[in-house]
């Protein structure tokens, strides 16, 4: 492969009880590229995303993000709290339900990672937080409480909070699925600008038009397997697998003109 791989997953398996949610997944994300994970609910795409930063620890497989790699193949020691935390600190994650810390102000949310994890002095962290809040268009909300914000604003704060760790990659887990339709655009605009800056991103999404327009590659998953993978426009507009076609047929009305 000529492009450098930023995220590399090899042979990743995960079961919850008797249900195998990820069946031998191999996935690469090139540095600076955007990959969209699509598929029906229960296909394992969120579990796959969560295993990239080890919020879900796989049963088997090899995971590398940037310089850091962890091997979960049999015989390897399981990483402890310190290793897991260090690994996660290099990736940013944005959740469907925002998960802002409700007992902290907006700027404290953004400062939490740098101050607690990176031991950055508070004054520096505050400056950084204000820069990032300006970047997501919320400079005037620094001292607001999260529960006074709209869903779209909360999600933009969550993006700023993740960016504050200066992550090598950003993971988005259905970042717009809990938003009212009129608020989706403002969050997608922020993600789009990150893509333009060259941030490596892996996103689980149900916004097919967005995946087609912003992602470089699209990965279609079903029943814990990668069914089809390729350039975004090709997978979404002319899928080669019947399962991908069947899934995408539910969306074509909403795809709109390209």
Q: Cα separations (Å) of 169 from 74, 99, 151, 202?
A: 27, 19, 23, 8
What is the rounded distance in angstroms from the CA atom of residue 138 to the CA atom of residue 131? 10
**Which listed residue (12, 25, 112, 149) binds another protein by CB under 8 A?**
112
**Which listed residue (61, 92, 152, 239) binds another protein by CB under 8 A?**
92
User: H or E stretch including 92?
Assistant: strand 91-94
SS3 228: strand
- Of 165 and 194, nearer to another protein (C-beta) is 165
The answer to whether 97 contacts another protein (rule: CB under 8 A) is: yes
Structure token pair of residue 167: 């992550």
Residue keyed to tokens 């403002």: 186
The answer to whether 88 contacts another protein (rule: CB under 8 A) is: yes
**Which listed residue (10, 89, 189, 255) binds another protein by CB under 8 A?**
89
Site residues (CB under 8 A) for another protein, limited to 31-60: 53, 55
Pairing of strands 200-204, 169-173: parallel
The answer to whether 90 contacts another protein (rule: CB under 8 A) is: yes
The answer to whether 156 contacts another protein (rule: CB under 8 A) is: no
**Sole window of 78-86, 121-129, 135-143, 215-223 interacting with another protein (rule: CB under 8 A):** 78-86
DSSP annotation of 78: P
Site residues (CB under 8 A) for another protein, limited to 161-200: 161-162, 165
- Of 144 and 255, nearer to another protein (C-beta) is 144
The answer to whether 16 contacts another protein (rule: CB under 8 A) is: no
DSSP annotation of 113: I
The answer to whether 117 contacts another protein (rule: CB under 8 A) is: yes
Half-sphere exposure of 97 (CA within 13 A, CB side): 3
The answer to whether 99 contacts another protein (rule: CB under 8 A) is: yes
SS3 31: coil
| Neighbouring C-beta atoms of residue 109, cutoff 10 Å | 25
**Distance of closest approach, residue 222 Cβ to another protein, in angstroms:** 25
Binding site for another protein (CB under 8 A): 53, 55, 81-82, 84-93, 95, 97-103, 112-113, 116-117, 158, 161-162, 165
């Amino acid at each position: 492969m000529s492009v450098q791989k930023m995220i590399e997953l090899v042979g990743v398996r995960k079961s919850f009880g008797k249900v195998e949610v990820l069946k031998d997944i191999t996935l690469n994300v090139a540095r600076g590229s955007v990959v969209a994970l699509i598929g029906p609910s229960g296909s394992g795409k969120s579990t796959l995303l969560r295993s990239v930063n080890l919020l879900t620890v796989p049963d088997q497989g090899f995971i590398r993000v940037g310089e850091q790699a962890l091997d979960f193949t049999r015989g390897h020691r399981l990483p402890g709290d310190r290793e897991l935390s260090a690994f996660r600190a290099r990736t940013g994650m944005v959740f469907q339900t925002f998960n802002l810390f409700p007992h902290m102000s907006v700027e404290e949310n953004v400062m939490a990672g740098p101050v607690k994890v990176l031991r950055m002095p508070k004054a520096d962290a505050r400056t950084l937080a204000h820069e990032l809040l300006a970047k997501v268009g919320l400079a005037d909300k620094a001292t607001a409480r999260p529960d006074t914000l709209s869903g779209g604003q909360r999600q933009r704060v969550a993006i700023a909070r993740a960016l504050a760790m200066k992550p090598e990659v950003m993971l988005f887990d259905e970042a717009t699925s809990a938003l009212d339709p009129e608020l989706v655009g403002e969050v997608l605009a922020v993600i789009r600008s990150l893509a333009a800056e060259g941030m490596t991103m892996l996103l689980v999404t149900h916004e097919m038009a967005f995946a087609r327009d912003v992602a470089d590659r699209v990965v279609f998953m079903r029943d814990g397997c990668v069914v089809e993978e390729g350039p975004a426009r090709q997978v979404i507009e002319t899928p080669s697998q019947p399962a991908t076609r069947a899934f995408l047929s539910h969306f074509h009305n909403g795809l709109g003109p390209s």
